Each structure stands twice: as C-alpha cells, then as structure tokens.
Amino acid sequence: METSQSATDIRALNEKIEKESAFIDLLMMEVNKSIIGQKQMLERLLIALLGNGHILLEGVPGLAKTLAIKSLAQAIDADYSRVQFTPDLLPSDVIGTQIYNIQKNEFAIKQGPVFANFVLADEINRAPAKVQSALLEAMQERQITIGDETHTLPEPFLVLATQNPVEQEGTYPLPEAQSDRFMLKTVITYPKKEEEQLIMRQNLSGGAQKIQPVVKLETIVKAREIIREVYMDEKIERYILDIIFATRNPEEYRLPSLKPLIEFGASPRGSIALATAAKVHAFIKHRGYVIPEDVRAVVQDVLRHRIGITYEAEAENISSEDLISQIVDQIEVP
C-alpha cells in the first residue's frame, strides 16, 4: 500500500473496517457474561488472537486469567486445551508422542494438548526449560515434529501462558530471548471494589450465564487478512521505529540517563509486533487507519518483556515499564 492515500480511499476503507469489525462488540458482550471488569485483559487477548501472536499474562492467582481464555474459546466455538505446567512435566506431555500399537505392529502418533486453537499454558514458569522450549518452538514454527513426522498446528492458534509473580520458589523463569516470542506481555491487576462486589454476588448466586458461540473461526481468520489492509501512514511507521531505536540507543534521543539502565533494547520482532498490535487496536476500535494513540495504547504490553534492564536499574527500583514511559514521553508524536 502506498504511503499516502486519498481521503476517498481512506473513507471507503474505514467503512469496510467498520462493517468487518462489528463482530468484536458481539464477542466482547458474550465474554463479559462470565468476566466482570478486566476489559484491558480481554482487549489484549483479542489483539494477540487477531494479530496472529501469543500472549503472556502475569498476575496473582484468582484474577480470571484461565476463565478469560476459556470464555473466549467458547464464544468463538474453538478447540481449547489447558496444560498445567509442573516441574515434572515432559515435552511429550505437551506436544505428544509415539505409541506402539501391538495389534498393528507399528508406532502411532498420540497428539498432545498443543493441537488446539487455544492452548492455555498455566504457570509456564513452573516447568523446566526443556518443556518451555518445546512449547515456544510450536508457537514460532506453528508445527510439531514427532519422530520423523511433521504435523501442522490448527489455525488460528493462540498460546496464552500465565505466570505467577508471587511464588518464585521452584520456578524456572522464562529466558528473555524466549519470552520475546510472545507478542504481548500483559500484567493483570486486581479488580475495582464495585467490580469485585459484582463478582462476589454473581458467584454466590450461581448467576454466571453459559457462554454461547457467537463467532465462527472463519471470521477470525478472515479478520486477520482484513487487518493487513488497515492503513498505516509513514509518519506512524517512523514513530514506531523511533520508540524501538530509543530502547537501543537512548542517547540519540536526548535520553542519555537511560543508557546505563538498559542492558539490551527491543529486537526487530518488537517493531513488527508493535506495528501489528497498533493495526489490530485500530481494527478493534472500528477504524481503518492507525493513529499515534493506537501505538501508545499497546506499547507497554509489546515492549515490557523485550527490554533488558541492568543491575543498576534494579538497584534503583526502575522497571522496564518506567523506561518505556520515559521513552514514549520523550519521542515526538506525529
């Protein structure tokens, strides 16, 4: 697509996107039958799904992380599987294995839980590196090799991994280079007091409604194609690149104080993910073009796990989120 488009083209595209993205409201309404509040988490789940990425959710237990992906899978009528990660888990427990069939005198493939549209990897930091890398390879390659056979994973394929930040005993933190495979890392916080009151009432009365499938899988696959058409001006592209490059060379963006705090900046995977997430955010808001607000809305979730902070930053209690905020405030908005 050319970098400059006529107003007529944009208007036509806007109308098309508005029509094609109508299912988002329907989906949100259905999922909200069982999830109260947590609007940001649901939005991020949709961004990962429509952006053909994966998402890592971090939050204390009991914040409806598992319920959210289960509800989304039910509303889309998709296959859903859940793997509870534990220290004794083996890669074959996730991807599958070969089983010997005595009657037929041959090996048969038993597919693991990764063969589903929505895979919930619960407490991913509980399992050893070997299991984590088996799942991350499936996420990246979208295929599994068992024995000498390669199997393609279903479409759409979304891995939602959860991480519990509370207990660190007996956990295996995801290496930075591997967590880069996740398009987004979202930190879930506690609900507001009024929301928690509703949650409490709903649970005590047993009033949670059953979620009905309201969107077909084909709609999601089609929406992914349409999102590619969302218009992104060259000014927005440069804005995204400025943010990414400022994480690598902050001194070039009048932020020399950040240099000793950043160990490494975001990779090119970061700029691709930021551009994709911004396009999907525009689509969710029923817009056919990306504005700087879309970039700012998703920048924390896209970059918080892609920036390495130094011991100096840790000693000063500075997180990657603080650094991203400083960079975004400094970079000129187009």
The pLDDT tens digits for 303-334 are: 999 998 889 988 988 888 899 999 999 888 88
pLDDT exceeds cutoff 70 at 42: yes
Handedness of CA 316, 183, 27, 157 (dihedral sign): negative
pLDDT exceeds cutoff 90 at 278: yes
Enter the tokens of residue 50: 């429509």
Instruction: Select from 108, 117, 36 the least CA-distant residue to 74.
Output: 117
Average pLDDT on 59-82 reads 82
Enter the tokens of residue 76: 């889309």
Q: Are 227 and 280 in contact (CB under 8 A)?
A: yes
How far apart CA 68 and CA 185 sit, in angstroms, is 15
Q: Which residues pair with 162 in a beta bridge?
A: 57
Amino acid at 323: L
How far apart CA 97 and CA 60 sit, in angstroms, is 33
pLDDT exceeds cutoff 90 at 302: yes
Q: What is the largest CA-CA distance in the chain?
A: 72
How far apart CA 33 and CA 27 sit, in angstroms, is 10
* H/E segment holding residue 134: helix 129-141
Q: Are 121 and 161 in contact (CB under 8 A)?
A: yes
Most confident of the ranges 137-141, 209-213, 223-227: 223-227
What's residue 1's pLDDT? Answer: 41
pLDDT exceeds cutoff 70 at 207: no
Q: 């924390």: which residue's tokens? A: 300
pLDDT exceeds cutoff 50 at 3: no
Enter the tokens of residue 329: 């405030």
Q: Say what the pTM is.
A: 0.86
pLDDT exceeds cutoff 90 at 212: no
Percentage above 90 pLDDT, the chain: 21
Q: Are 270 and 308 in contact (CB under 8 A)?
A: no
Q: At what angle do helices 320-330 and 234-248 cross, to 10 degrees?
A: 130
State phi, psi for 62 to the nearest 5 degrees. Answer: 90, 15
The pLDDT tens digits for 237-254 are: 999 999 999 999 999 989
How far apart CA 18 and CA 237 sit, in angstroms, is 23
Most confident of the ranges 17-31, 115-129, 147-161, 263-277: 263-277
Taking CA atoms, 290 is separated from 232, 236, 255, in Å, by: 5, 7, 27
State the average pLDDT for the chain.
85
What's residue 108's pLDDT? Answer: 77
Q: In sequence order, what are the residues at sequence separation of 6 or more whose Cβ sits closer than 8 angstroms to the Cβ of residue 1?
A: 229, 231
Domains and CATH numbers, the chain: 25-220 (3.40.50.300), 230-330 (1.10.8.80)
